[in-house]
A and B are shown apart, each in its own frame.
Chain A
Amino acid sequence: MRQNIVLIVLIGVIISALGFTSCAPDYQTEFEVKTLVVPDKSLSPIVFPIEGGSAVAEVITNVELSKWSTSSNAAWLTVEKREGQVDIQATRNDTYAPRVGRITIEYGHQAYYINVTQECKSSFMLVEGKVEGVVKSVSSVAGTVEVTVRSNLNVDHVLIPDTAAFIQLESIKNVAGKADEKRVTFKVAQNMARNPRYGTVTFQSSENYAQMASFVIVQEEMVMVKIPLRVDMLSSNAQEPREGPIANLIDGNPSTFFHSLWSGSISEMHYFQIVLDEPIDGCVFWYQNRNNSNGKAQNVSIMVSANGTEWTELIRITSGLPTGAGSTYESAYLAAKAPFKYFRFVVNATNDGQGPRFFNMAEFALYRIKE
């Protein structure tokens, strides 16, 4: 019995020993984990001054120096690795624009990036002493606008928007004794509209496109003045002898009227003519119909001449002319290619039919641009 107990205990001990040893690992391997860490504080963006300088990024690693790498994507930014750190060098920035670069520290597929910025030389660009907000007002007539631009940059771009086609760059001239100052002259075309117009001119430099200065040109609307007409300026190739003398066109009384020939006939289209005292470059005409229903001009040629012999058609109006009794019409501004003294209102057709045919009119006026 005793022997059995000893045997059972012995077997139990042996089984326990086998059990414990079976839980032990089959083999032992020494793993050395290679790591490379750039601490957060070294990953902060670096800002270098204009003069350049140096900085250090800490590298915590157990990787051999030859097995990790560092690089920069910019020529002005150089890097050099040492045990536990990367030395960063920036050269001087002689430009007028800030520059950026990126440093990479990597081991295998693990990479850290450090963004680097370098400040630039300061620049300025002013139009009449301001970056923006200067307003140059000009009259409606064609002329020039001149501004002074001060800048330490090369002002090589003058931007005139498409919506301000009335402005053209004429010249950029250096100012004697002032290296950073230029006189810039623009041509401004005649404003033919009855509203003022605006254009913002912007100056830029390729040395730093972000540095801009601008000013606004405001051109007044076209202002018309009535040309004083006298009876001796007026004539017609078809005056009706029985009624409607031509003097009635300018008597200021809409109940009187001019009437072209109806009691006879001529082969020419009926017209009336005005001989001005001074030549003009263009005009606006206005008229009021006679207070009846016939003889209303519907197709009109406006002929002009400098000498009364050579005529050119300024415009032919074939639509939009009024037929109502006492109604009025005002033309757009009609610009001539050359100044003229002679003006003809030729009626090619009326609401009664094709000319030559009589027409009538109560009042007529002619306007020119106020200078």
Chain B
Amino acid sequence: MKNNIILACLVLGFALTTACESYDFEQEQYKNEVGLLSNSQMIYDRQVADLSKDTDTIYLVAALSGTRPSDQDFKVTLMRGDSLIKAYNKSNFDIETNRYARLLSERYYTIPSLEAVIPAGQMQVKIPVYLRNLGEISPDSIYFLDYQIDPLNTDVFNLKKKEVLLRIYKSNEFSTTRRNVYYNYTSSFVTLLDLNNPLVRRPTSTNQVFPLAGNSVRMMAGDENLGEYKTALNRINERSIVVTIGKQTAMNPLAREVTITPYKSLDVVQLTPFEMYDNTFLINIISTPDGRRTYYKEFRLHYKYRLKSTDPYREVKAVLRMEYSPRAELL
């Protein structure tokens, strides 16, 4: 009997001590693995370079997966890749090689170091990419940086997130390549300067504006039609103008002088200011009596152009207007 009591106590004691042992939850948590931040198409396209700066910085982001932050450092080393851009071009454009996305030339960027460390307790590290001279690249082409994880010099990484296409967008105060930016014609005239056919048109359409450099944009001349964008290269080259925004006017600090030049082959002549078509870029603030204000960016242009040297000129008196929110731009 006594032995039975001792045996029972031992069994009870063992049960009590083993019952206190904790469960290994580690096996049910996501592992810590390094991956390059991107969307489901392996593209990271959330950053836009500011053309108004001589050099702007965007980032390649190496992130650490896992349920919990790691208690150790993770070493990350990047190297150039090329498989993703090939896959991107093939899947998006197939045999239309003239539309292929391009790798950004080293002339336009510097990555000071391809090595980084995700410190213990943190979930990501940003590797800066310094962009410069982006005014020289076409706003119509798609540019990427293609980088991948160096498998020999990186700690545990996710094979599905080892490479990224970093999209290069650029923007200035007047437009961006990240989205289509349209200015609306208002109070505008396009007059054919031909005595025998003095045709006057009143465009009320929109004109897509593309950023070139920090202070310049490109747009179609007059009411020329851009048409389908993917087949518009020749039309762009033959019918586009460049509007370069200069210094403030002496009369109105909200207005800046502009210079109108051809983009490629167009014959365009800037005319002298005439009434409201005074060759300025104006921040036009229209206030209502109840105190509300509407903000517009406006190109007020006066120029003439012709597509062929034998054609009569078309005189353009245009107000191109886009509503915007000053506060939203500060975000």
Interface set of A (CB-CB < 8 Å, partner B): 73-74, 95, 97-102, 109, 113, 157, 159, 161-163, 197, 204, 206, 209-210
Is there an interface contact between A98 and B272, defined as CB atoms closer than 8 Å?
no
Chain B interface main SS type: loop
Shortest beta-carbon distance from A132 to chain B in Å:
14
Is the CB of B50 closer than 8 A to any CB of chain A?
no
4 tightest A-B CB contacts, nearest first: A162-B193, A209-B273, A73-B253, A99-B251
Shortest beta-carbon distance from A188 to chain B in Å:
16
Instruction: Tell me the B257-298 residues at the A interface (CB within 8 Å).
Output: 271-275, 278, 285, 287, 293
Instruction: Tell me the B289-327 residues at the A interface (CB within 8 Å).
Output: 293, 304, 312-313, 315, 327
Is there an interface contact between B251 and A98, defined as CB atoms closer than 8 Å?
yes
Q: Which residues of A contact B272 (CB under 8 A)?
A: 157, 159, 204, 206, 209
Q: Which of B193, B253, B275, B287 contacts A74 (CB 8 A)?
A: B253
Instruction: Tell me the B222-267 residues at the A interface (CB within 8 Å).
Output: 250-254
The CA-CA distance from A99 to B327 in the complex, in Å, is 26
Is the CB of B112 closer than 8 A to any CB of chain A?
no
Q: What is the chain B residue whose CB lies nearest that of A98?
A: B251
The CA-CA distance from A157 to B274 in the complex, in Å, is 12
Chain B CB count within 10 A is highest, among A101, A162, A197, A210, for A162
The CA-CA distance from A161 to B312 in the complex, in Å, is 12
Q: What is the chain A residue whose CB lies nearest that of B315?
A: A162
Q: Which of A73, A102, A209 contacts B274 (CB 8 A)?
A: A209
Is the CB of B45 closer than 8 A to any CB of chain A?
no
Is there an interface contact between B278 and A209, defined as CB atoms closer than 8 Å?
yes
Is there an interface contact between B252 and A99, defined as CB atoms closer than 8 Å?
yes
The CA-CA distance from A161 to B251 in the complex, in Å, is 27
Q: Which residues of A contact B285 (CB under 8 A)?
A: 102, 113
The CA-CA distance from A100 to B254 in the complex, in Å, is 9
Q: Which residues of A contact B304 (CB under 8 A)?
A: 162
The CA-CA distance from A210 to B273 in the complex, in Å, is 8
Contacts A209-B272, A209-B273 given; does A161 touch B193 at CB 8 Å: yes
Shortest beta-carbon distance from A45 to chain B in Å:
10
Is there an interface contact between B252 and A100, defined as CB atoms closer than 8 Å?
yes
The CA-CA distance from A157 to B273 in the complex, in Å, is 11
Is there an interface contact between A163 and B274, defined as CB atoms closer than 8 Å?
no
Shortest beta-carbon distance from A171 to chain B in Å:
20
* Further pairs besides A95-B251, A102-B254, A162-B312: 7, Cβ < 8 Å: A73-B253, A95-B250, A99-B252, A101-B253, A113-B285, A209-B274, A210-B275
14 contacts between A and B (CB under 8 A): A95-B251, A97-B250, A97-B251, A98-B251, A100-B251, A102-B254, A102-B285, A113-B287, A157-B272, A162-B312, A162-B313, A163-B194, A163-B198, A206-B272
Q: Which residues of B contact A100 (CB under 8 A)?
A: 251-254
The CA-CA distance from A209 to B312 in the complex, in Å, is 26
Q: Which of B254, B275, B278, B293 contacts A73 (CB 8 A)?
A: B254
The CA-CA distance from A109 to B254 in the complex, in Å, is 21
Shortest beta-carbon distance from A165 to chain B in Å:
9
Q: Which residues of A contact B194 (CB under 8 A)?
A: 163
Q: Which residues of A contact B251 (CB under 8 A)?
A: 95, 97-100
Contacts A73-B253, A99-B251, A100-B252 given; does A163 touch B195 at CB 8 Å: yes
Q: Which residues of B contact A95 (CB under 8 A)?
A: 250-251
Is there an interface contact between B273 and A99, defined as CB atoms closer than 8 Å?
no
The CA-CA distance from A109 to B331 in the complex, in Å, is 14
The CA-CA distance from A67 to B306 in the complex, in Å, is 56
Chain A CB count within 10 A is highest, among B194, B272, B278, B287, for B272
The CA-CA distance from A113 to B312 in the complex, in Å, is 46
Shortest beta-carbon distance from B270 to chain A in Å:
12
Shortest beta-carbon distance from A106 to chain B in Å:
12
The CA-CA distance from A358 to B316 in the complex, in Å, is 57
Contacts A163-B193, A163-B194 given; does A102 touch B275 at CB 8 Å: no
Q: Which residues of A contact B278 (CB under 8 A)?
A: 209
The CA-CA distance from A240 to B251 in the complex, in Å, is 82
Q: What is the chain B residue whose CB lies nearest that of A112?
A: B291
Instruction: Tell me the B86-137 residues at the A interface (CB within 8 Å).
Output: none
Shortest beta-carbon distance from B79 to chain A in Å:
47
Shortest beta-carbon distance from A125 to chain B in Å:
14
The CA-CA distance from A162 to B254 in the complex, in Å, is 33
Q: What is the chain A residue whose CB lies nearest that of B287?
A: A113
Q: Which residues of B contact A113 (CB under 8 A)?
A: 285, 287, 293
Q: Which residues of A contact B293 (CB under 8 A)?
A: 113
Q: What is the chain A residue whose CB lies nearest that of B304?
A: A162
The CA-CA distance from A362 to B13 in the complex, in Å, is 144
Q: What is the chain A residue whose CB lies nearest that of B195?
A: A163
The CA-CA distance from A197 to B195 in the complex, in Å, is 10
The CA-CA distance from A157 to B271 in the complex, in Å, is 10
The CA-CA distance from A159 to B253 in the complex, in Å, is 28
The CA-CA distance from A45 to B312 in the complex, in Å, is 45
The CA-CA distance from A97 to B293 in the complex, in Å, is 26
The CA-CA distance from A98 to B251 in the complex, in Å, is 7
The CA-CA distance from A100 to B252 in the complex, in Å, is 5
Shortest beta-carbon distance from A84 to chain B in Å:
21
Chain A CB count within 10 A is highest, among B253, B271, B285, B315, for B253
Contacts A162-B313, A209-B274 given; does A99 touch B250 at CB 8 Å: yes
The CA-CA distance from A98 to B327 in the complex, in Å, is 30
Q: Which residues of B contact A161 (CB under 8 A)?
A: 193
Q: Which residues of B contact A197 (CB under 8 A)?
A: 195
Is there an interface contact between B198 and A102, defined as CB atoms closer than 8 Å?
no
Q: What is the chain A residue whose CB lies nearest that of B272?
A: A157
The CA-CA distance from A309 to B272 in the complex, in Å, is 52
The CA-CA distance from A102 to B275 in the complex, in Å, is 22
The CA-CA distance from A113 to B287 in the complex, in Å, is 10
